[in-house]
Each structure stands twice: as C-alpha cells, then as structure tokens.
C-alpha cells in the first residue's frame, strides 16, 4: 500500500537559531526508516512524468522502489546509471522546478521528496559500501579537461571509465569549482565533494591544480603535449557589478569574493586560516538567486546583526531554490523585495555607510515572461549598512577565449557549441556547463559534461 | 609542491627565492606575477616575477616581510617546498618602440621594476633608473640595477647613502636637463607612483605604474582587485597590473588598501609567537 500522506516525510534539520551561528550542514538527512516511508509515497506511475523533469533522466520510480524495498545499494546503482554525483544533486538541484515539479503527488499535496531520497541513497552508499578496485582497460589516448567543476568532473569520470587517460587542469589550488568555492559548507559539506574527487583520482584521473589554462598553457600547446581532445568546463566566474556609484567603496564585495574568502580560504576560521573577511554589522546582499541566499546566510553566520536581501522583483520571481529561501527566512534574513539599489553611499574615509534604493512595482511582462519592474515615484530611501555584497550574476571568464584562436563565443562571452555534442568551433575541442550557458545549475553542467564525454569518445574512435 | 632551490637575504626584511616551477618559467614575461600559498592555512599571496630561467625551470621572487604570509615564507629554507605556486598571471609589459626610458623604483618596488629595466636594457633601450629607499641599509639590487641601466641614481630619504631626497626630485632634474623619455615606469608605494604621475603629466610623458591591490584568485573571478582607471573599473590581475599612471585613481586605491588593516594586525599578533619576532612593517 502506498503511503498516502499529502506531506513529505519531514527532513530533520538544525534549529534555525542554532544553525545561523555555525557552518555545519543545515539539513541532517533521512534515516533509513524515514527514507522507506517517503519512498512509499511514490505511486510508480507507468508514464513516469518525473523522469522527464530531470535533466539527466534519473530512473526515479525504479530507484525509489528499491529504497521502499530497503535495497539501498541497488537504488544507488540505478541512480548512478545516469547521475554520477547524486550526493551533490540530491542537495542542490532545484527539485521544485525539475523532477518534483512534474510528480503527480504534487497535484494534491507535496510531491515525492525525490531529492531527499537521492541524497539519502548516496549518503548511505558512501557510509556503507566498500570501495572495490575497478579495473579499466586503458586505451592510451590522452584527453584534457579544463576546469574541475561539476561539468569537468563528470566529463572526466565518463572518459576515464571509457579507458582514456584523463588530466584535469584547474586554476585554483583546490578542485571542485563552485562546489568548493561557491556553495557554502552548511549546504554542501566540502568533505563530500572531496570524496567524489578522490574517487575520480582512484579511477586514474590526474588533477593538476594551479594551472590557469590560457596563461600557463594554451589549448594549442595542450594539443602539442599530446592531448587528442579537450573539454572546456571553466564555468561562469566573472562577477557582474551594477555600474552604480560607490561600487568601489571599502565594504563592497562581489558575491564571488565574499564566498571564496569564506569557503575556499576558510575565512570563517580566521585567524587559524590566514584569509580575513569583513562582515560588518548590517549587510545588504543585492540579488535573489542561490548565490544571494548563500552570501546572506554566510554573513549572518559570521555575526552580522541585520542581513537584507535586496531584490528588484517580487517574491514569486526569486530565482533561488525554494528550500534556500525558506531556510534564509527561518534564519532571520530580512527580504527587501521590489527594491532596487541606485547608489552606495560612503563615509569620507571611503567606507560603505548605506545603500540608496528605490521601490519598484511590476509592469508588463518582458522577453523572459516575467513582469518587468518599474520605478515607483518618490520612493528613494536609504538602508543603513556597512557591507554590500553584489550577487547579480556571473558571466563566463574571457581568459580562454582571449588566448585561443578560432574559438567562437557569443557577445556575452558564452562559448558557442553544437547542442547535441558540445563541439566548439575548434576541432577536437568541446565545452559545457556554465562556460557555455552562463550561470545555470549543477545538474545541467553535469549533463553537458556527459554529453561531451560521449561525443569526444565518438570523435576519437573515428579519428 | 614547488621547491625552493635558492634563498638569499637582500636586506634585513627583503628576501629572494628561486622556486622550481617549470611550467611558469616557460611562459613568464616581465610585468607578470605569480600567486603562492605557503601552506594549507595560508593566504594566496601575489608576488611579481623578478626573474626566470626557462632552461632551469625556475622563477625568482623577491619579497618584503610585511605580514604573516611573507614572514612565514621568509622562514622557509632552501630545499623546502611551497604548497601552491600559480602563474604567470597578469599582462606582460609591452616595450615595442621604446628607445629611452626612466625606471623609477620606490623601496621594494625596485624589485618589481628590475625585470622591466632588464628587459628594456636587453632590447637596446637607454635606461635611466632612479631608485629610492628610506636609508642605506634598505638598499636592494644595486648591482643588478646598475647592470640593467646606463644611469643609476640611488636616493635615500635620510641621505645615508648617495643622494638625499625623493625619486621625483631626481626625475624632474633629468627631465629638465633635457632628457626626453619615451616612457617612464614607476613602481613603489601608491603615494610615490601618484607623485611621479603628477610630475610627468605636464610633460606629456607616457607613464606606466604597477598596481598592487589585494588579490585572491588572480584570474578575474573575485573582483577584489578592482581599480579605477580612466573612470572605468578594471581588474588589476587580468587587465594589469600595469596601468597608465595618468589615468589611475590613486586616492581610491589608497583607501582600498586599508580594507584589512585590523585583520592583518590580528593575524600577525596571533602568529607572532611562532614567528618569533617583532614586526618591521
Ligand atoms: C554561490 C553559488 C550557489 C549556487 N547554488 C546552486 C544550487 O543550489 N543548485 C544548483 O544547481 N546550482 C547552484 N549554483 C550554480 C552551479 O554551481 C553552477 O551552475 C555549476 O557549478 C557550473 O558548473 P561548471 O562545471 O560549469 O563550472 P564551475 O563550477 O564554475 O567550475 C569551473 C572550474 O573551472 C576553473 N577554471 C576557470 N577558468 C579556468 C582556466 N582558465 N584554467 C583552468 N581552470 C579554470 C574554475 O576555477 C572552476 O574550478 C550555484 C552557484 C554559486 C556561485
Ligand atoms: C600584482 C602584485 C605584485 C606584487 N609583487 C610583490 C613583490 O614582488 N614583492 C613583495 O614583497 N610584495 C609584492 N606584492 C605585495 C604582496 O602581495 C603583499 O605584501 C603580501 O600579500 C602581504 O601579505 P602578508 O600576509 O605578509 O601581509 P599582510 O599583513 O596581510 O599585509 C600587508 C600589506 O600587504 C597588502 N596585502 C595583503 N594581502 C594582500 C593580497 N592578497 N594581495 C595584495 N596585497 C595584499 C596589504 O594591503 C597590506 O598593506 C605584490 C602585490 C600584487 C597585487
Ligand atoms: S538529479 Fe536533480 S533533477 Fe534529477 S532526479 Fe535528482 S534531484 Fe531531481
Ligand atoms: S511522478 Fe511522483 S509518484 Fe509518479 S513515479 Fe514519479 S516520483 Fe513517483
Ligand atoms: S584577484 Fe580576483 S579578480 Fe583580480
């Protein structure tokens, strides 16, 4: 008998007032009993609407059936047929707009907690499985992967399993991309990402850190070093600013800088770790996506008293995952919606002391279908803050493009690829993830890495 | 890991190290820099590439011990390793068509200016170097600079060696004596680069300065290194570090440099015990 409860089995979480002072994971994960109970809410629909909502088409009803039966290892094998990073996706996918959006249980109540179940299965497997040395028949062909975010890691994983000698080149001193330097510890524990990276290394993937491709080696030089094909997964790292007065005052951060200091450089453990971060007492975070939520919640955890999310559209348009918005509110983040900054105000010594904003109202829908915010007359006001974090989006970094002849990009910087294969305008060079789409999601980046791995394999076989 | 193959003390707080980093050495050009991390807990610390040897696969850095990172780096010895060393970063200096140049170094800026003087000299340009220090004990790279220059003037603030006064006084003298420079390169404290830029502006001499804002990634990803040049925001790590001195907003840069003052003091206080010494910054 399926479990007909209209609600998901509740996820155990740290209390808001406790967790907003630490960097430990917020959501604690299901127990096996909870997972089995939730799994029983799945109706095993014949036409599997949920699967179509998942960008990598995880075999959702099948894996959930295994969970319901208590066959967790089998569930894991089922998921990993199409998704190589389930512990991560279960935590960070925007399920409400993907798999769970189409779940029939969502029509009259909450959808099946597909993400939570995926996370449970992955965590269970990590704790209970014994790593077994897998023997892969090597084919001796070298492939280079540039960037070690989810796109690069997935592409490398698929290629190494096909027998290629894969080397990942990463600019930072730590691999993992946004999973390491962007998404905070309290949402995605770094040890977990590290485990995924370690298992790739065990399969034989070589990771060279501190290698800024385009500077230390060009794509053509990589080719000369014997790499027969390449995958560019360099992400969208270039921070956008607003272009309003006062953006270079002391106390104004890009979300990238703020989060990198905290996550990658571990500024929350300063002075044990050498990198500082200045949080201030009152913080305004401009933007409404996952990045803005992460920055706001990190600022709160580092002791800020009042943290504002300043967003120019309404709650409905907030692009962040529902769960993050919900968690942010619980933790005391103050939402200033329909509010747009016009100027950052500084002291004589050049430090932020406030942010001037106008109120907005929603007008006609724009090209994206969202109602366009327009300025309300005489609504100027100042919010007193000493720190401003700008989280209004990122674009692909121009470094590789500017040092590679024959690599075509859009005006906004995204690398142009053939959608079905990830092939770029340069022979043997493939690309995917945020470097191609602009800032998107982990699962889409993974999907692009998979697509490219398959295409690279075909390309090299026909070579 | 990147091995320290040579270490030298140039002046009490200034050290030179040759680091084994073949990939960086292969591509390095004057004007570029590296970012290093001494150990797991360390900051990412940008330092100019003072020299390189492509065959040997080494990169030379010269640094002043001003805070926690540079002090822990200074405590490492030949044969020991640095955890991370990434580069070459930034835009290389362009010297095409330069026949005569003045290279101005302020204090440690001399180390950053040296590779540029050397490159100009090797290209056959006439190089006049003016380098200034607080006192004679702080003078560094005297013989190197003199080899790379057809004229070398060393000034000290207290006159303890050679000429008393500021580098700008000497540059002004040279210009007024009728030297026509295609290029002035000024590298040192912001206040000095600002003074040099103000001096050369009325003469219309192209002046390049090297901006050293706080950096993290060095690849254009954090925006922490932003400087205003000609009214536009630039990222020093990818658009620079060299910029047109007549266009740089030095006052903003000076304010931004103070952002982490208190943290730096705290970091140093907390580490003083294991560094065993006074600060001389
Ligand atoms: C704070 C934050 C929160 C987010 N939250 C979510 C979320 O909850 N759910 C979700 O689905 N998505 C989220 N995203 C988006 C998601 O993280 C990205 O879409 C995804 O990481 C893109 O993957 P990628 O592999 O394309 O690039 P990235 O993860 O950006 O990785 C690119 C890697 O390439 C390296 N690199 C760049 N240039 C070079 C070079 N020249 N040479 C060598 N290496 C280079 C970079 O250092 C980096 O390691 C979030 C993003 C941020 C910033
Ligand atoms: C492109 C570039 C090239 C440089 N080249 C040299 C060089 O060849 N030799 C040399 O001695 N120094 C150089 N510097 C400066 C050097 O990076 C700093 O002195 C060093 O990071 C200080 O670290 P600390 O922990 O020892 O001192 P701290 O106590 O942290 O800081 C002391 C001073 O260094 C500045 N500083 C701190 N952190 C950074 C950072 N991440 N990036 C830049 N500046 C910082 C601070 O504003 C402060 O004035 C360069 C800086 C840049 C940006
Ligand atoms: S990968 Fe993401 S979208 Fe797909 S099933 Fe899992 S949580 Fe849903
Ligand atoms: S749509 Fe929902 S109920 Fe139906 S199979 Fe998918 S998860 Fe189960
Ligand atoms: S150091 Fe981060 S953008 Fe320049």
Q: Which ligand is nearest to the CA of B219?
A: 5
Topology annotation, domain A239-393? FAD/NAD(P)-binding domain (3.50.50)
What separation in angstroms does the CA of A435 have from each of A152, A158, A287, A390, A415?
11, 19, 21, 21, 6
* Beta bridge mates, A254: A390
Least confident of A91-105, A121-135, A243-257, B226-240: A121-135
Least confident of A222-226, B22-26, B157-161: B157-161
pLDDT tens digits for range B70-85: 999 999 999 999 999 9
Pocket lining for ligand 2, CB < 6 angstroms: B 33, 43, 45-48, 62-64, 66-70, 108, 111-112, 212-215, 241, 257, 264, 268
Q: Percentage of residues in chain B with pLDDT exceeding 90? A: 60
- Compute the nearest-CA separation of B4 from chain A (Å): 17
A142 closest CA partner among A460, A462, A463: A460
pLDDT tens digits for range A147-168: 999 999 999 999 999 999 999 9
**Residue B203 pLDDT > 70:** yes
A204 closest CA partner among A159, A264, A239, A267: A159
Quote the pLDDT of residue A120: 97
Quote the pLDDT of residue B271: 54
Q: Cβ of A256 and B44 within 8 Å?
A: no
> In chain B, which residues fall in CATH 3.40.50.80?
100-257
Topology annotation, domain A16-128? Fumarate Reductase Iron-sulfur Protein; Chain B, domain 2 (1.10.1060)
Between B259 and A299, where is the model more confident?
A299
Query: B161 falls in which pLDDT band (50, 70, 90)?
Result: confident
For residue B238, list chain A residues with Cβ-Cβ distance below 8 A: 399
Query: A54 falls in which pLDDT band (50, 70, 90)?
Result: very high
Quote the pLDDT of residue A442: 94
Mean pLDDT of A86-103: 94
SS3 content of chain A, % helix, strand, coil (to 5): 35, 20, 45
Backbone angles phi, psi at A406, to 5 degrees: 85, 15
Task: Write the DSSP string, B182-194.
Answer: SEEEEES-HHHHH
Quote the pLDDT of residue B12: 81
Query: A288 falls in which pLDDT band (50, 70, 90)?
Result: very high
**Residue A140 pLDDT > 80:** yes
Query: B244 falls in which pLDDT band (50, 70, 90)?
Result: very high
Residue in chain B closest to A256 (alpha carbons) equals: B222
| Interval between CA A239 and ligand 2 midpoint (Å) | 23
Q: Which amino acid residue places its CA nearest to atom 3 of ligand 5?
A: B220
Topology annotation, domain B100-257? Rossmann fold (3.40.50)
Between A445 and B159, where is the model more confident?
A445
Residue in chain B closest to A272 (alpha carbons) equals: B41
- Tell me how crowded residue B277 is: count the other CB atoms within 10 A of its CB: 10
Between B280 and A42, where is the model more confident?
A42
Quote the pLDDT of residue A366: 81
Between B176 and A147, where is the model more confident?
A147
Query: B267 falls in which pLDDT band (50, 70, 90)?
Result: low
> Ligand 2: which atom is nearest the Cα of residue B45?
21
Query: B269 falls in which pLDDT band (50, 70, 90)?
Result: low
| CB-ligand 3 contact for A54 (6 Å cutoff) | yes
pLDDT tens digits for range A291-334: 999 999 999 999 999 999 999 998 988 999 999 999 999 999 99
Quote the pLDDT of residue B278: 35
The reply to whether A239-393 shares the fold of A16-128 is no
Query: B280 falls in which pLDDT band (50, 70, 90)?
Result: very low
Query: B268 falls in which pLDDT band (50, 70, 90)?
Result: low
Mean pLDDT of A214-231: 95
Least confident of A174-183, A261-270, A294-303, A381-390: A261-270
Quote the pLDDT of residue B164: 79
How far apart CA B87 and CA B108 sit, in angstroms, is 21
* CATH class of the region B2-89: mainly beta
Whole-number average pLDDT of chain A: 93
Quote the pLDDT of residue A341: 96
For residue A399, list chain B residues with Cβ-Cβ distance below 8 A: 219-220, 238
pLDDT tens digits for range A332-379: 999 999 999 999 999 988 999 999 999 999 888 888 777 888 999 999
* Beta bridge mates, B84: B37
A165 closest CA partner among A145, A148, A183: A145
Between A84 and B23, where is the model more confident?
B23
Q: For a substitution probing ligand 1, which of A56, A146, A181, A182 has the most ligand atoms within 8 Å of its CB?
A: A182
B273 annotated ligand binder? no
- pTM of the predicted protein model: 0.92
**Residue B273 pLDDT > 50:** no
Mean pLDDT of A102-130: 94
**Residue B281 pLDDT > 60:** no
**Residue B279 pLDDT > 50:** no
Query: B274 falls in which pLDDT band (50, 70, 90)?
Result: very low
Topology annotation, domain A142-237+396-462? FAD/NAD(P)-binding domain (3.50.50)
| Interval between CA A170 and ligand 4 midpoint (Å) | 39
Query: B276 falls in which pLDDT band (50, 70, 90)?
Result: very low
Q: Which residue has the tokens 């680091």?
A: B19
Query: B277 falls in which pLDDT band (50, 70, 90)?
Result: very low
**Residue B262 pLDDT > 80:** no
Task: Write the DSSP string, chain B.
Answer: -EEEEEEEEEETTEEEEEEE-HHHHHH--TT-EEEEE-STTPPPEEEE--EEETTTTEEEEEEE--SHHHHHHHH--TT-EESEEEEEESPPP--TT--EEEEEEETTHHHHHHHHHHHHHHTT-EEEEEEEESSGGG---HHHHHHH-SEEEEEETT-SSSEES-HHHHHHHHHHTT---SEEEEES-HHHHHHHHHHHGGGT--EEEE-----SSSSSSS-TTEEEETTEEEEHHHH-SEEETTTB-HHHHHHHHTTTHHHHHHHHHHHHHHHTS----
User: Residue ranges per domain, chain A?
Assistant: 16-128, 142-237+396-462, 239-393
Backbone angles phi, psi at A457, to 5 degrees: -60, -45
For an interface test with B, which of A178, A260, A274, A434 has the most B Cβ atoms less than 10 Å from its Cβ? A274
| CB-ligand 3 contact for A60 (6 Å cutoff) | yes
- Compute the nearest-CA separation of B263 from chain A (Å): 6
**Residue B263 pLDDT > 70:** no
B45 annotated ligand binder? no
Query: What is the ipTM for the molecules in this complex?
Result: 0.89
Q: Which of B220, B267, B271 has the CB atom closest to A276's CB atom? A: B267
A352: helix, strand or coil: strand
| Interval between CA A30 and ligand 4 midpoint (Å) | 19
Q: Cβ of A276 and B68 within 8 Å?
A: no
């Amino acid at each position: 008998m399926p479990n007909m409860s209209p609600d998901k089995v509740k996820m155990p979480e740290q209390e808001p007032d406790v967790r907003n002072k630490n960097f430990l994971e917020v959501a604690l994960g299901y127990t096996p009993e909870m997972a089995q109970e939730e799994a029983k809410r799945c109706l095993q629909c014949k036409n599997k609407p949920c699967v179509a909502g998942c960008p990598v088409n995880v075999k959702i009803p099948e894996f959930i059936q295994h969970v319901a039966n208590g066959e967790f290892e089998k569930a894991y094998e089922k998921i990993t047929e199409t998704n190589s990073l389930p512990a991560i996706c279960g935590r960070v996918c925007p399920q409400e707009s993907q798999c769970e959006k189409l779940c029939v249980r969502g029509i009259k109540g909450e959808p099946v907690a597909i993400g939570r179940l995926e996370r449970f299965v992955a965590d269970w497997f990590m704790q209970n499985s014994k790593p077994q040395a897998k023997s892969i028949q090597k084919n001796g062909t070298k492939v280079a992967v540039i960037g070690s975010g989810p796109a690069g890691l997935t592409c490398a994983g698929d290629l190494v399993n096909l027998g290629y000698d894969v080397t990942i080149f990463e600019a930072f001193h730590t691999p993992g991309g946004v999973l390491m330097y962007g998404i905070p510890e309290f949402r995605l524990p770094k040890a977990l990402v590290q485990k995924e990276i370690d298992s790739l290394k065990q399969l034989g993937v070589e990771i060279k850190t501190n290698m800024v491709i385009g500077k230390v080696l060009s794509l053509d030089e990589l080719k000369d070093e014997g790499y027969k094909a390449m995958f560019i997964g360099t992400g969208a790292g270039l921070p956008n600013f607003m272009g309003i007065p006062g953006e270079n005052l002391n106390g104004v951060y890009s979300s990238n800088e703020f989060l990198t200091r905290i996550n990658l450089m571990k500024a929350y453990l300063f002075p044990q770790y050498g990198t500082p971060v200045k949080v201030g007492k009152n913080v305004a975070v401009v933007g409404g996506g996952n990045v803005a939520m992460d920055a706001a919640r990190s600022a709160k955890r580092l002791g800020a008293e009042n943290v504002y999310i300043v967003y120019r559209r309404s709650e409905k348009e907030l692009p962040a995952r529902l769960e993050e918005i919900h968690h942010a509110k619980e933790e005391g983040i103050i939402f200033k919606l329909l509010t747009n900054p016009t100027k950052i105000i500084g002291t004589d010594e050049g430090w932020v002391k406030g942010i001037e904003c106008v109120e907005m109202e929603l007008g006609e829908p724009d090209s994206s279908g969202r109602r366009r915010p327009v300025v309300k007359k005489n609504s100027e006001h100042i919010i007193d803050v000493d720190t401003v974090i700008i989280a209004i989006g990122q674009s692909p970094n121009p470094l590789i493009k500017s040092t590679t002849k024959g690599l075509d990009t859009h005006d906004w910087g995204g690398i142009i690829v053939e959608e079905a294969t990830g092939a770029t305008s340069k022979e043997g060079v493939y690309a995917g993830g945020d470097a191609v789409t602009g800032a998107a999601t982990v699962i889409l980046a993974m999907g692009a890495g998979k697509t490219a791995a398959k295409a690279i394999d075909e390309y090299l076989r026909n070579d | 890991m990147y091995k320290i193959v040579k270490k030298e003390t140039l002046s009490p707080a200034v050290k030179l190290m040759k680091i084994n980093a073949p990939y960086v050495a292969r591509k390095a050009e004057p004007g570029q820099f590296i970012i290093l991390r001494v150990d797991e807990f360390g900051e990412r610390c940008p330092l100019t590439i003072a020299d390189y040897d492509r065959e040997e696969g080494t990169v030379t850095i010269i640094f002043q011990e001003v805070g926690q990172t540079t002090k822990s780096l200074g405590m490492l010895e030949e044969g020991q390793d640095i955890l991370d060393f990434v580069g070459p970063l930034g835009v290389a200096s362009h010297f095409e068509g330069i026949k005569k140049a003045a290279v101005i170094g302020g204090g440690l800026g001399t180390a950053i200016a040296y590779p540029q003087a050397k490159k100009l000299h090797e290209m056959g340009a006439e190089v006049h170097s003016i380098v200034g220090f607080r006192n004679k004990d702080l003078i560094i790279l005297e013989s190197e600079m003199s080899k790379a220059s057809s004229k070398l003037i060393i000034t000290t603030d207290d006159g303890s060696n050679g000429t008393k006064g500021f580098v700008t006084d000497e540059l002004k003298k040279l210009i007024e004596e009728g030297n026509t420079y295609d290029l002035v390169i000024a590298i040192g404290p912001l206040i000095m680069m600002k003074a040099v830029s103000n001096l050369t502006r009325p003469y219309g001499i192209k002046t390049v300065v090297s901006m050293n804002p706080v950096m993290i990634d060095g690849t254009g990803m954090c925006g922490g290194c932003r400087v205003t040049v000609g009214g536009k925001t630039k990222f020093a790590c990818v658009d620079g570090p060299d910029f047109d001195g007549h266009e740089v907003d030095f006052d903003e840069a000076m304010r931004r440099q103070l952002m982490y003052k208190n943290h730096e003091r705290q970091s140093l206080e907390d580490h003083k015990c294991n560094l065993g010494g006074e600060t001389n910054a």
